[in-house]
Amino acid sequence: MSDGQDTGRPEFTLVQVADPPSSDEEMAPMFTAPVSDGKRHKNDIFRPGPGPMVEFRGVTKTYDGGARGLDGVSLRIGTGEFVFLVGPSGSGKSTFIRLIIRELRATTGEVVVGGRDLATLRRSKVPYLRRAIGCVFQDFRLLPDRTAAENVAYALQVTGHSQKEVRRRVPEILSLVGLDGKFDRLPRELSGGEQQRVSIARALVNHPRLLIADEPTGNLDPDTSLGIMDLLQRINRTGTTVLVATHDQHTVDRMQMRVIALDQGRVVRDEESAGYHDVTGEVLA
Amino acid sequence: MRLGMFFREALRSIRANAAISVAATVTALIAVFILGAFIPSFMYVRSAVDAQTAKVDVDVYIADTATVPQVNSLREKLDGLRTDGTVAAVTYVSKEDALRIMKERLRDPSVLDELPSNPLPAKFNVKPSEAENADVIVAAVKDDPALDPTEGIVYPETTADRLLTAAKFVQWAGFALIGILLLAAVLLIGNTIRLSIFARRREVEVMRLVGATNWFIRWPFMIEGVICGLVGAIVAVAMLWGIKVGVVDAWASGADSALTKTGSAAGTIAFPLLTIVLVGAGALLGAVGSGITLRRFLKV
Q: Chain B residues with CB inside 8 Å of A135's CB?
A: 209
Q: Chain A residues with CB inside 8 Å of B5's CB?
A: 157
A283 vs A230: which has the higher pLDDT:
A230
Q: Please say whether the beta carbons of A259 and A84 come within 8 A.
A: yes
Domain ranges of chain B: 3-52+162-297, 57-155
Q: Please say whether the beta carbons of B222 and B291 come within 8 A.
A: yes
| Nearest Cβ partner for A154 among B16, B208, B210 | B210
| AA identity, residue B66 | A
The residue of B13, B203, B213 whose CB has the most chain A CBs within 10 angstroms, and thus the best one to mutate to test that interface, is B213
The gap between the terminal CA atoms of chain A, to the nearest Å, is 42
Chain A, nearest residue to B9 by Cα: A154
The pLDDT of residue A35: 39
Pick the CATH number of B57-155 from 3.40.50.300, 3.30.70.3040, 3.30.9.10, 3.40.50.720: 3.30.70.3040
Q: Please say whether the beta carbons of B59 and B153 come within 8 A.
A: yes
Q: Please say whether the beta carbons of B29 and B185 come within 8 A.
A: no
Q: Report chain A residues touching chain B, CB-CB < 8 A.
A: 3, 101, 123-124, 126-132, 135, 141-143, 145, 154-155, 157-160, 202, 206
The pLDDT of residue A279: 54
Q: How many Å lie between the alpha carbon of A223 and the closest alpha carbon of chain B? A: 27
Q: What average pLDDT does chain A have?
A: 82
Chain B, nearest residue to A145 by Cα: B16
| Residues present in chain B in total | 300
Contact B212 A124 (CB under 8 A): no
Q: Nearest-5° angle of CA B189, CA B195, CA B200?
A: 130
Q: Chain B residues with CB inside 8 Å of A158's CB?
A: 207, 210-213, 216
Q: CB contacts < 8 Å between A and B, how many?
A: 50
The pLDDT of residue B73: 83
Q: Report chain B residues touching chain A, CB-CB < 8 A.
A: 2, 5, 12, 16, 202-203, 205-214, 216, 300
- What pLDDT digit, counting tens, does each position of A196-206 carry? 999 999 999 98
Torsion, CA A45, CA A49, CA A50, CA A53, rounded to 10 = -10
| Nearest Cβ partner for A145 among B16, B208, B216 | B16
Chain A, nearest residue to B208 by Cα: A127
The pLDDT of residue A278: 65
Q: A112 pairs with which residues across the strands?
A: A55, A117
Report d(CA B203, CA A145) in Å as an integer: 10
* H-run or E-run covering A245: strand A241-246
Chain B, nearest residue to A128 by Cα: B211
| AA identity, residue A277 | H
Q: Chain A residues with CB inside 8 Å of B207's CB?
A: 154, 158
Within 13 A of A184's CA, how many CA atoms are on the CB side? 1
Q: How many CB atoms lie within 10 A of CB B291?
A: 19
Confidence of residue A30 (pLDDT cuts 50, 70, 90): very low
The pLDDT of residue B12: 82
| Nearest Cβ partner for A126 among B202, B216, B300 | B300
The pLDDT of residue A285: 45
Contact B211 A131 (CB under 8 A): yes
User: pTM of the prediction?
Assistant: 0.67
Q: How many Å lie between the alpha carbon of B16 and the closest alpha carbon of chain A? A: 8
pLDDT values of chain B reduced to their tens digit, one per residue, 300 residues: 478 888 888 888 888 778 878 888 888 898 888 888 888 887 887 777 777 666 677 788 888 787 888 888 888 888 888 788 778 788 888 888 888 888 887 777 777 777 778 878 888 888 777 767 777 777 777 777 777 777 777 766 656 667 677 777 877 887 888 788 788 878 878 887 888 788 778 888 888 888 888 888 888 888 988 998 999 999 999 999 998 888 877 776 665 544 444 444 556 778 888 899 999 999 998 888 888 888 887 764
* H-run or E-run covering A59: strand A54-62
Contact A130 B208 (CB under 8 A): yes
Q: Please say whether the beta carbons of B131 and B167 come within 8 A.
A: no
Q: Chain A residues with CB inside 8 Å of B218's CB?
A: none
The pLDDT of residue B158: 55
Q: Please say whether the beta carbons of A199 and A173 come within 8 A.
A: no
Q: Could you tell me which residues come within 8 angstroms of residue B21 by beta carbon, excluding any fewer than 6 positions away?
A: B13, B14, B192, B196, B224, B228
Contact B2 A160 (CB under 8 A): yes
| Residues present in chain A in total | 285
| AA identity, residue A73 | V
pLDDT surpasses 50 at A22: no
Q: According to the CATH classification, is domain A24-46+79-104+124-274 in 3.30.2350.10? A: no
By DSSP bridging, strand A257-263 and strand A266-274 are antiparallel
A18-22, A224-228, A275-279, B129-133: which has the minimum mean pLDDT? A18-22
The pLDDT of residue B204: 85
Sheet holding B58-62, edge to edge: B87-93, B122-128, B58-62, B153-154
pLDDT surpasses 90 at A261: yes
Averaged pLDDT, A154-161: 86
Q: How many Å lie between the alpha carbon of A279 and the closest alpha carbon of chain B? A: 37
Q: A270 pairs with which residues across the strands?
A: A260
The pLDDT of residue A33: 31
Reported for B3-9, long-range contacts at CB under 8 A and 24+ positions apart, including other chains, are B5/A157, B6/B219, B6/B220, B6/B223, B7/B223, B9/B219, B9/B220, B9/B223
Contact A158 B208 (CB under 8 A): no
Please provide residue B130's backbone torsions phi and psi, each rounded to the nearest 5 degrees.
-130, 145
Q: How many Å lie between the alpha carbon of A187 and the closest alpha carbon of chain B? A: 14
Q: Chain A residues with CB inside 8 Å of B199's CB?
A: none
Contact A130 B209 (CB under 8 A): yes
- What pLDDT digit, counting tens, does each position of A58-94 carry? 999 999 988 889 999 999 999 999 999 999 888 999 9
Confidence of residue A267 (pLDDT cuts 50, 70, 90): very high
Contact A124 B206 (CB under 8 A): no
Contact B213 A159 (CB under 8 A): no
For residue B248, is the peptide bond before it cis, meaning its omega torsion is within 30 degrees of 0?
A: no
Report d(CA B161, CA A60) in Å as an integer: 75
Contact B5 A128 (CB under 8 A): no
Confidence of residue A9 (pLDDT cuts 50, 70, 90): very low
| AA identity, residue B97 | D
* H-run or E-run covering A25: helix A24-32
Report d(CA A263, CA A91) in Å as an integer: 4
A40-44, A250-254, B18-22, B210-214: which has the minimum mean pLDDT? A40-44
Q: Please say whether the beta carbons of A170 and A152 come within 8 A.
A: yes
